[in-house]
Amino acid sequence: MDAKRMQIGEVAAATELSLRTIRHYDETGLVAPSARSRGGFRLYTEADVARLMVIRRMKPLGFTLDEMRSLLEATDRLDAGEELRPVEREELLQRVRGFEEAAQQRVLTLRTQLERAEEFAATLRGRLHDAGGRDTATASRTDA
């Protein structure tokens, strides 16, 4: 069965990544299109889109391109269905576990940062309320 193939614009819409970003990931070897059209356009499968989504989720957590590549290589090997030596399989699983732990730690850090940002915004709201609820932009518009 032929997998559905999408052009880069469709992939960009599905992943909310820019065309430039997708091309960059292709150039760096993170995600290569599965095929090319007769006209030379990149064609991507659902598996390619899933791979891009992994990258998209890693980026805001601060993972580098090399780290993304390392995780993708590990998951590719584990998913390939090839027979792996037990030691090799365990090494790959350990690599994935390491990324899972790093992701969890980074999520906790982001939650802490978000809490602090929310506290800061609440402080500013309180100050505005205490000052009569008028900010300078509102005051200049209504005083004119």
The domains of the chain are located at 1-53, 62-134
Query: Judging by beta carbons within 10 Å of its beta carbon (0-12, 13-18, 19+), is residue 131 exposed, middle or buried?
Result: exposed
Sheet hosting strand 42-44, strand order edge to edge: 6-7, 42-44, 35-36
Q: CA 12 to CA 6: how far, in whole Å?
A: 10
For the record, the structure tokens of 42 come out as: 């990149």
Fold observed for domain 1-53: Multidrug-efflux Transporter Regulator; Chain: A; Domain 2 (1.10.1660)
* Residue 2 in this model has a pLDDT that exceeds 80: no
* pLDDT recorded at residue 132: 86
DSSP string, 61-106: GT--HHHHHHHHHHHHHHHS-----HHHHHHHHHHHHHHHHHHHHH
Which pLDDT tens digit goes with each residue over 105-115?
Answer: 999 999 999 99
* pLDDT recorded at residue 82: 83
Report residue 6's pLDDT band, with 50, 70 and 90 as the boundaries: very high
Look at phi and psi of residue 81 and say left if phi exceeds 0, alpha if psi is from -120 to 50, else beta: left
Place of tokens 């998209």: 56
- pTM here is 0.78
* pLDDT recorded at residue 134: 60
Pairing of strands 35-36, 6-7: unpaired
Report residue 12's pLDDT band, with 50, 70 and 90 as the boundaries: very high
Place of tokens 């732990």: 101
* pLDDT recorded at residue 52: 97
